[in-house]
Amino acid sequence: GILGIKTGTTAAAGECLAVCMDKDPLVRQKPDGSKGVTPRRLIVVLLNSTDRFQRSRMLLRDGWAVYDSWLAAGAPVKDAKREIIKVTDPQ
């Protein structure tokens, strides 16, 4: 379900929306008998959108459809490595 949503409007960015949605985690049996749990979360950020609410619904729907197709095709789900990126001169 939807975990959070934030709207905003500025002169520079126009009408904006950020939304976060998750689905039930994937639980898989590992060869050693233990279970691996992979959370599933999709984040959509729209900037300068003329129809941010409808567009976000479409992006969430399409994003999950692509993910589900990828998973159904046998694509492995691996834990992503996290990297911290520092922005030294944001504009």
β-strand pairing of 2-10 with 14-29: antiparallel
Percent of the chain beyond pLDDT 90? 71
Gap between the Cα atoms of 44 and 50, Å rounded: 15
| Between 44 and 86, the higher pLDDT residue | 44
The domain segmentation of the chain, as residue ranges, is 2-72
The pTM assigned to this predicted structure is 0.73
User: What is the amino acid identity at position 10?
Assistant: T
What is the tens place of the pLDDT at every residue in 56-74? 999 999 999 999 998 888 8
Minimum mean pLDDT among 24-28, 55-59, 69-73, 83-87: which range?
83-87
| Sheet arrangement for strand 2-10 | 2-10, 14-29, 35-46
